Structure 1
Amino acid sequence: DVLCDLMAEYSAKNITDIEEITGNFNAVIENKSLIILNELKNFTEQRALNSNALKSVMIVDAQRINETFIARRDSQNVANLIIISNNFCPVKIEATDRRYLVCQTSYVHRHNFEHFDKIHQAINQADFYDNLYTFFMKRDIFQANLQVIPMTDAKKDIQKVSKSPVENFVVKYLKQLKQGMECNQALDYKPKELTEFQFKAQLKAICDYERKNAPNSKCMKKIGYYKLKPGLVQDYESIKDEENEINDDDEEDYTNIKIIPNNQDGDVINQ
């Protein structure tokens, strides 16, 4: 709210329906430098959420504005989005998506009413906005590279939930896909929830298709291979490492389980 007050009419605060941004009628984004999306549901529960349309709002320079009974028009896109939610995954973030900075707030002051009273009193001081504006104007960000967005644990968690069946396939068979995996073998292991056509189409966006001689073959017959695109190798290696760390932690917790006898009727207690 404080940031929106600084922006005045060039901001929109407390937008609770994401369809106002990504839907057919999107006049709310016109000439807005800051838009606050508040209390969004998990993306799996939002039928109206168009993740690709949300990406467009973040990256394109111009937006097509549509209002009821008014001719459509083009408008310069200057919108910056802040998304606030108590839900676990309000937006879908793919493994290779670098558009989002995700932060998780601490619960340290959750019931500390005195702490928030002090903040509220500071905001209501007469010179608060003047001092805040001066702070932002004098803040030196010349050396900052805004294209390098920090990776956080909260973002990794959302990326894990957002993974598609094809991305899970790539992580599982990462070693083979880095070297080149036979197309027939890939089809044998394809996710059950995808048809062959869907699997091939989605894998094409992640892997390059190559044809080369079959190994240990005397004939000149060439067979097809899927090979992970070089620019995506590092992203999927990071995801693979994350999964390995989680599995190692789970195994360690399991081996540290102590079984103590239960004097009462029934089975032993796992502590």
Structure 2
Amino acid sequence: MPKKYTLLVENEQGRLDKYISERISDLSRTRIKELIKDKNILVNQKSEKVSYKIQAGDKIEINVPAVKPLDVVPENIPLDIIYEDNDVIVVNKPQGMVVHPAPGHPDHTLVNALLYHTKDLAQSPEGFRPGIVHRIDKDTSGLLMIAKNAKARESLEDQLAHKTNKRIYWAIVHGNFNEENGTIDAPIGRDPYNRKKMAVVENGKKAITHFKVLEQFKNYSLIECQLETGRTHQIRVHLDYIGHAVAGDPLYGPRKTIKGHGQFLHAKVLGFKHPRTGKWLEFSVEPPEIFQRTLAELEKSK
């Protein structure tokens, strides 16, 4: 159902979005920004920017349209839940599972499984990705944080935006390194020659990946990557850019590569502040069996 609110500013000060979020608990800052952008929030019958500074006497009218019907069907798909409370879920996504429905993948996604597991997931304006605050690719395995309510969603998205959370990946990549660690600072945008791919492009969004070499084998290496930003396909694009494409990557890697079920990339460590308590939570999971078996085979080939 759509909702309407009216707020009268007395002597408060500050940004419009912050003022509203402190008075209407059902609305996250992210949702408020979307409502302002769509002109569903008016100040003195005028559309204002998110950064508008409220003044005494301002009349704020808020129209919250009904969320688009959720046409995602709950499915009884097993989940590897690492942690869960009233605000967040941390799940270990298997390789081969899409995070949320999209063209070509209408079902059998992580969201379908989450909806069967719980009714408490933060709403999303699109309706098809409740609870989802960040994604990993279909054939990337590992840890994801899920928001169960609006305030948790706002907190987790804010941590992602301000780079205060922790995300560490393991990757088996082509080639060997002369250096023990490094940083790739190269902007990422849509590949101008292939719209299905991302690429390092001059006018792309800022993207930073830090890496550390853990072990080297014949023609391959095991590295650890820490994300400072979270662009689409960031690790895969950055590693291909420096000549060390992720092994098994069907989109960015060479044809001659290690056989598997897609790229050998695993979200191993996830850390963030709990949205309610502020306590630091950190989790780590081992890579899937095929990843570990491949490492063992590479070790033998040294």
Q: Per the shorter chain, which TM-score range?
A: under 0.3
Superposition TM-score, scaled by structure 1 size: 0.23
* Higher share in helix: 1
* Greater RCO, 1 or 2 (C-alpha within 8 Å, sep 6+): 2
Higher strand fraction (1 or 2):
2
Q: Rg bigger for which structure?
A: 1
